[in-house]
Amino acid sequence: MSRQGDAKEKRQLVNFLFYKADPAWRRLPEAQKEKGRQEFLQTMEQYQEDIILVTYSLVGVRSDSDLMLWRIGYDMDRLQCMAAELSRTGLGCYLNTAYSYLAMTKRSVYVDRHVHEGQEGSRMRIVRPGVAKYLFVYPFVKTRSWYLLSQEERQKMMDVHITIGHKYPGVKLNTTYSFGLDDQEFVVAFETDQPEDFLDLVMALRETQSSLYTLRDTPIFTCVRRDAAEALALLG
C-alpha cells in the first residue's frame, strides 16, 4: 500500500500516562482515600466505550512513577478531557503527572517481508494490548544520520533486528510514532510474561549495527499489569 493510502487510514492515538502519588495521599483517612479511589475508577469507566484503557503499577519498581494508564483512542479531545476529569477526583488531586508520551499508529516500512504472528501484527496501524503481566515502555530517538541512509541500507540492518526479535516469540512489540507530536520519535512498548526474555532481547539488540544509530532510548519503565482497583489500592 502506498504511503498516501496509508495516510488516509484512521490511526489510533496512543498515550502512556505516568503518575506519581503525593506522599500526603498515604496519610489521609482510609474513608477519604476510598472515596477518592471510587471517583477515579468511575471516571475511567465513563471513557471506556471509546478509549482502550489498561492500568499498570510501578510501585516499588521506579522512584518517579507509581501508576501508568495505557490509553488508546481516536479523539485527542476525549483523551484530554479524561485526564482533566481524573485530576479533579479525590485521588487525582494527589497525583502528579510524572511523564506523558503521545504517539500514533502507523505501519512499519520494515516488516513487509517478515511475517510473525503476535509480533509483526503489533507493528501495523492498530494497537491491541494483550494480557501479558509486564509491559516495558520507553521513548526512542534515532540519530539524524540514520535517516540519511538509503532505504536499502536501513532495511538490511532492520532485517537483522527483526530476525533477533523472532528468537523471543513471547515478547510482543508495539511500536508507535511521535514525529512532530512529542519530543521522541517513537514510543515502544514490549508485552511479555517473562522479564528475562526481554532482558536477553535487549542485550542481543545492543550487538546489532542498527544500535549505532540510537540517540536515546531512556527512561525505561517496567510496568506490572494490575486491574484498575488493585493498581489504585497499591498507591497506599
Chain-centre distance of CA 217, in angstroms? 13
Residues 124 and 96 in one domain: no
| 230 found inside a domain | no
Residues 67 and 125 in one domain: no
Number of domains within the chain: 2
What pLDDT, on the 0 to 100 scale, is given for residue 166? 95
What pLDDT, on the 0 to 100 scale, is given for residue 96? 98
Instruction: Map grid coordinates 504517539 to a residue.
Output: 103
| CATH classification at residue 182 | 3.30.70.1030
Spell out the long-range contacts of 196-203 with Cβ–Cβ below 8 A and sequence spacing 24 or more: 197/168, 197/170, 197/171, 198/134, 198/136, 198/168, 198/171, 200/168, 201/164, 201/165, 201/167, 201/168, 201/171
| 234 found inside a domain | no
Q: Which of 103, 125, 143 is the last residue of a domain?
A: 103
pTM of the model: 0.91
HSE-up of 175 (CA within 13 Å, CB side)?
A: 18
How far, in Å, CA of 64 to CA of 62, rounded?
6
What pLDDT, on the 0 to 100 scale, is given for residue 202? 97
What pLDDT, on the 0 to 100 scale, is given for residue 79? 98
| 228 found inside a domain | no
How far, in Å, CA of 117 to CA of 124, rounded?
12
What pLDDT, on the 0 to 100 scale, is given for residue 120? 45
Q: Which domain holds residue 67?
A: 3-103
What separation in angstroms does the CA of 128 have from each of 4, 132, 223?
24, 12, 17
What pLDDT, on the 0 to 100 scale, is given for residue 10? 87
The helix or strand, by DSSP H or E, that contains position 202, with its residue range, turns out to be: helix 195-206
What pLDDT, on the 0 to 100 scale, is given for residue 126? 86
HSE-up of 161 (CA within 13 Å, CB side)?
A: 17
Name the DSSP class of 106: -
pLDDT tens for each residue of the chain, 236 residues long: 344 445 467 899 999 999 999 999 999 999 999 999 999 999 999 999 999 999 999 999 999 999 999 999 999 999 999 999 999 999 999 999 999 999 999 988 887 554 444 544 444 578 999 999 999 999 999 999 999 999 999 999 999 999 999 999 999 999 999 999 999 999 999 999 999 999 999 999 999 999 999 999 999 999 999 999 999 999 99
What pLDDT, on the 0 to 100 scale, is given for residue 8? 63
| 235 found inside a domain | no
What pLDDT, on the 0 to 100 scale, is given for residue 112? 58
